[in-house]
Structure 1
Amino acid sequence: MRVVLVFAGLVTAISGFGQEPRTLEDCETAFIKNNLSLLAQQYNVSQADADIAQAKIWDLPQVSFQTNLYNPDAHKAFDLSKANSLSVQQLLYLGGKKKYEVAYARSNREQALLEFDQLLAELKARLNETYYTLHYEEKKLIDINTQLTYMAGLLEAFKVQTAKGNTSLKEQVRLQSMVVQLNNDKIGIVNAILQQQQLLKTFTGWQENIHTAITDSEDSILLAKRPLIPLETIKQQALEHNAGYRYSLKNIEASKINVNWQRSQNVPDLTLGGEWDQLGGAFRNEVNLTVGIPIPLWKRNKGNVTKAQYQVKESQANSDMKKLDLETSVELAYQTWENQYDQYAAVKAEDLQNLQTVHTGMMANFRKGNVTLIDFTDFMDSYRQTILQLYEMKKQLMIAAQELNRLTQSKIF
């Protein structure tokens, strides 16, 4: 038993070593600055900017020069005095090809920004959930440590009395079972704390362990918050602000632009140029205008146009599905939060006060011998479970609130 207690104490010491109280705002600031996933996503936006710049670039003009390689009359190689010609040609896009190409690239950039916004919202929600989970696991640990300290001390006293024959071994074993259960709870809580701290390190980029900084008054205010708008308005906010759904709408727009772009490929492009010929034309130093255009005997891009049209229909179907999924998810999240809130609100302040009053009274009466060991351990086990359930209830309430914030990407709570 002493080995178990020592081991549990060492785990607690390890988990607490180097911890520094950090507010949620501190963590969010570090998250925005240091999170590698966000930094990587920002590069996608930069790539989209480069695609826009590339789309604006026209084909380079083509210059060709022709000169004499060998003059058979004068038996002279590279006779540059005669038979030279120079031409310059430029491809001109018709049908709005460049306009649609640039518009498509700009639409892709807007999608990249929405992807960034969606990733930011997802990671921020997970950061908040992790922070609140850590907070309530720490609260659990404080209570379990308090109970464990008392019960472990009581067990040591019973061991002395059992050795003297004043108490039975059965009573000692009953207390020992309580201490084992408390130690098991403690190890589970410590492992949960270590896991949440590791996640916070990943989110924030900090190397040291993080300890939450939420006062009891702040905790009460957070738990008492309720949405100020009805469910239907919350759904509407989700449709207006959720970057994932907005991405699906932007994808429809991009698909329509692509249809126009593919159609424009069927319009022949014009090649315009000028030509100077020293002796090869009808006149000396002849200057000519050249114009070239393919003969549109068939639509060379018909297949891609059809494909793009089907992509519009696919994008519309995906967007409709995304809308339905978002609305149902918001409704489920709201109902989950409401259930958690009702459960939390059902526990009144006087109920908690009565629990603590009975707990204090049981310990005092047990020391005086007014309560049997069986009644005492039964109550202490019930008290242990109740305290853990209360903190778990609060944790789940905060997680449900963060889920609504994530889906709506608004400050509902």
Structure 2
Amino acid sequence: MKLTSYILSLALVTGITFKGQAQVDTLSLNSKISVVQYLSRVGKENLGYAAEKYNVNIAEAGIETAKIFPDPQFSFGAFDNQQSKLKLGQGLTFGLGTTIELGGKRSARINLAKSQTELSKALLQDYLRNLRADAAIAYYNAIQQYSLLKVQQYSYQMMKQLADADAIRYKLGAITETDARQSKLEASNLQNGLYQNEADWKNSLIKLGAYLGKKNADTLLIPDGDFENLGRDLNYQTLISNAQSIRADAVAALNSKAVAERSLELVKANRRIDLGVNAGLQFNGESTNEIAPTPYHRTANIGFSVPLKLSNHYKGDLKSAKFTIKQAGVQYDQVLQQIQVEVTQAYFNYTAAGKQVQQYKDGLLAEGKKILAAKVYSYKRGETSLLEVLNAQRTYNEVQQGFYESQSNYASALIELERAAGIWDIK
């Protein structure tokens, strides 16, 4: 049931004309937006999510980095035998060398980078899962704040009209001055509460804009929705099973295990030797000395180098990688356990919230409305005291506030359940 029609029907019952007059001041209200439209924009415009997307781009760039081969080395040199009296020659040397990686180092690096990319994608999805839920809760909180504002507006308007009527009745001698002052005081007190409710509503709208990365806080979006269509027929055992398979943080934890395993493969590959290959040319100028004249000539050479892997005696890197795999496995089991706890708790909270809302709909609201209408009618006829009207009005206010809070809690409970279960069908 939408709040506007509800307030209007209540005004007809009590014989009071309601005038909605929330002051907007310098803030401008934009067009209304549905929850589906709002969450779609959050996914496109949220600054935090946009920043998280770069982690995937960075990880994908890491795959390109992992494909790099060792760079070859070019060397150049010149020599002079420094024997001018013996007329020994000078010469030049050129060399080219490179390292040939053995043991599958390059493929291990690439596989690790790919696993890290998959992990980044899973973490991005988990970020979106939480962002979407937080934004949806903020959306329904804005609806709740608007509902509470309307309740306070109605209470103030009712008391203001009673105070105006009491001022006339006092002049006519129908009531005492104390009763007239009391009703005026109550109206002023409700007006103060109205100011705070209006501020709470505006703040909730500003928070909606913050999820969209809006820089102009003076332009507010208005939720176009209610607390209907929150009922779901769900089995929490099925929810747990599905959540442990599809929830983004479970997928991320599984990818963390894959990253740890790929890291071990790379550690093992790095412990294998690499082959160094080098080739060169040497140009020797002629030597014209009389003892051992030598004509101009060239010399070619080729060689190989193999590192002596004495460092492999120490196996700290292997042990660290193996422990990381075991740690990732335990963390994955912990995530599954946490999912089970979160889904179960969220399911029970959702069930309880639904029962609370239904209790209000089954009689609490209607009973409070009837009592207030009867007290106002009797007071206008001089058959009851102002105190009884105030008590009835406060009680009905509390019932209405409790109703809208329970509806907001019901919406939040559904969102938390779907967040925990890794599903989403909020519309």
TM-score interval, normalised by the smaller of the two chains: 0.7 to 0.9
**1:39–1:296 CA distance, 2 compared to 1 (3 A):** same
1:333 equivalent to 2:380? Answer no
Relative to its length, the structure with more helix (as a share) is: 1
Deviation track 1:172-206 (CA, whole Å, cap 9, x = no partner) reads 34424533553354234223212211211111134
| Residue of structure 1 equivalent to 2:138 | 130
1:42 equivalent to 2:49? Answer no
1:239 equivalent to 2:239? Answer no
| Residue of structure 1 equivalent to 2:355 | 342
Q: 1:46, CA displacement in angstroms?
A: 1.6
Q: 1:17, CA displacement in angstroms?
A: 4.1
Structure 2 letter corresponding to 1:87: G
1:360 equivalent to 2:373? Answer yes
Count of equivalent residues: 394
Distance in 2, matches of 1:248 and 1:74, equals 77
Q: 1:157, CA displacement in angstroms?
A: 2.4
Greater mean alpha carbon deviation, residues 250-259 or residues 319-328: 319-328
Deviation track 1:90-131 (CA, whole Å, cap 9, x = no partner) reads 211111111111222222222222222121111111110011
**1:263–1:145 CA distance, 2 compared to 1 (3 A):** same
**Percent of aligned pairs sharing the same letter:** 18
Distance in 1, matches of 2:85 and 2:51, equals 68
Greater mean alpha carbon deviation, residues 371-380 or residues 66-75: 66-75
Distance in 2, matches of 1:74 and 1:349, equals 119
Q: 1:151, CA displacement in angstroms?
A: 0.8
Q: 1:346, CA displacement in angstroms?
A: 2.4
| Residue of structure 1 equivalent to 2:235 | 230
Q: 1:239, CA displacement in angstroms?
A: 1.6
Deviation track 1:70-99 (CA, whole Å, cap 9, x = no partner) reads 66358889x7xx744432212111111111
Classify the secondary structure of the residue corresponding to 2:272.
coil
Q: 1:305, CA displacement in angstroms?
A: 1.5
Structure 2 letter corresponding to 1:388: Q
Classify the secondary structure of the residue corresponding to 1:346.
helix
2:197 to 172, 186, 189: 189
Residue pairs, 1:18-37, within 5 angstroms: 18-37=29-48
Structure 2 letter corresponding to 1:241: I
Greater mean alpha carbon deviation, residues 264-273 or residues 25-34: 25-34
| Residue of structure 2 equivalent to 1:4 | none
**1:176–1:255 CA distance, 2 compared to 1 (3 A):** same
Distance in 1, matches of 2:414 and 2:85, equals 94
Classify the secondary structure of the residue corresponding to 1:410.
coil
Structure 1 letter corresponding to 2:57: S
Q: Any gaps of 5 or more consecutive residues in structure 2?
A: 1-19, 286-295
| Residue of structure 2 equivalent to 1:275 | 280
| Residue of structure 1 equivalent to 2:104 | 96
Deviation track 1:310-338 (CA, whole Å, cap 9, x = no partner) reads 22222222222222222111111111111
Distance in 2, matches of 1:55 and 1:239, equals 32
Q: 1:349, CA displacement in angstroms?
A: 4.8
| Residue of structure 2 equivalent to 1:211 | 222
| Residue of structure 2 equivalent to 1:140 | 148
| Residue of structure 1 equivalent to 2:69 | 58
Structure 1 letter corresponding to 2:56: V
Distance in 1, matches of 2:213 and 2:93, equals 66
After superposition, the CA RMSD in angstroms is 2.8
Contact persistence 2:243–2:421 (CA under 8 A): yes
1:406 equivalent to 2:419? Answer yes
1:105 equivalent to 2:116? Answer no
Distance in 2, matches of 1:351 and 1:367, equals 25
1:391 to 399, 404, 410: 404
Classify the secondary structure of the residue corresponding to 1:116.
helix
Q: 1:38, CA displacement in angstroms?
A: 1.1
Q: 1:34, CA displacement in angstroms?
A: 1.9
Structure 2 letter corresponding to 1:60: D
Classify the secondary structure of the residue corresponding to 2:280.
strand
Greater mean alpha carbon deviation, residues 115-124 or residues 293-302: 293-302
Contact persistence 1:404–1:412 (CA under 8 A): no
Q: 1:400, CA displacement in angstroms?
A: 0.8
Contact persistence 2:97–2:277 (CA under 8 A): yes
Structure 2 letter corresponding to 1:107: S
Classify the secondary structure of the residue corresponding to 1:209.
strand
1:254 equivalent to 2:259? Answer yes
| Residue of structure 2 equivalent to 1:305 | 318
Contact persistence 1:83–1:279 (CA under 8 A): yes
Distance in 2, matches of 1:190 and 1:409, equals 35
Distance in 2, matches of 1:386 and 1:181, equals 19
**TM-score normalised according to structure 1 size:** 0.86
**1:301–1:86 CA distance, 2 compared to 1 (3 A):** farther
Contact persistence 2:31–2:221 (CA under 8 A): yes
**1:398–1:181 CA distance, 2 compared to 1 (3 A):** farther
| Residue of structure 2 equivalent to 1:5 | none
**1:357–1:11 CA distance, 2 compared to 1 (3 A):** closer
Structure 1 letter corresponding to 2:62: D
**TM-score normalised according to structure 2 size:** 0.83
